[in-house]
Amino acid sequence: MRISEMSVPGAWVFSPTVHGDDRGCFAETFRASEFEKVTGRPFDLLQVNTSVSAAGVLRGIHYTDDPPGQAKYVTCVRGAFLDVVIDLRAGSPTFGRWDSVLLDDRDRRSVFISEGLGHAVLSLADDSTLTYLCSLEYSPEYDHDLDAFDPDLAIDWPAAGRDGQRLTYLRSPKDAAAPRLRDR
């Protein structure tokens, strides 16, 4: 497995070796010892979530008060997503910086998102499916949202999906009403 830190400190991309044959494929997408060696910490799993999205569904930007913070290990098991990580840690030299990675069912990459970072995903194909391993159980009193189209963040959302078709963005009412970074 290749592991590389993103330009937002505290976020890493895990790129497994995918072994394929006429039966299908196999990829080891998480190994605790490798994770701990690179991140310098264990991953305490407390909740697992799965989401299925049509092409154009944009979820986020979501983040959790830190402390307690919620770390996530996100893997695409079907389809494709643009996964975006945003530094929301007060006093961080990279506050407001974002980075992205393609998560799909071909390369089988995963992304680890540390506490204090914001997270958003854009589905690039119908029926795209993500699995989130979470270090904190859902706690609505700690959860917050930011506007994914905040011009101060200037996230470069793609206009076309995996098949080249133009995307029509679809957000939840809660995500569409989320404040800008400067108003949080």
Find out whether 166 is annotated in a ligand binding site: yes
Residue range 22-55, pLDDT digits in tens: 999 999 999 999 999 999 999 999 999 999 999 9
Query: What does 18-78 look like in DSSP terms, one character per residue?
Result: EEEETTEEEE----HHHHHHHHSS-----EEEEEEE-TTBEEEEEEE-TTT---EEEEEEE
pLDDT at residue number 55: 98
Catalytic site includes residue 144: no
Contact residues for 34 (Cβ-Cβ < 8 A; gap 6+) = 1, 3
pLDDT at residue number 137: 96
Catalytic site includes residue 138: no
Find out whether 28 is annotated in a ligand binding site: yes
Find out whether 72 is annotated in a ligand binding site: yes
- pTM summary value: 0.96
Find out whether 70 is annotated in a ligand binding site: no
pLDDT at residue number 73: 98
Residue range 112-157, pLDDT digits in tens: 999 999 999 999 999 999 999 999 999 999 999 999 999 999 999 9
pLDDT at residue number 155: 98
Catalytically annotated residue among 132, 142, 144, 169:
132
- Please state which CATH class domain 2-183 belongs to: mainly beta
Residue range 58-85, pLDDT digits in tens: 999 999 999 999 999 999 999 999 999 9
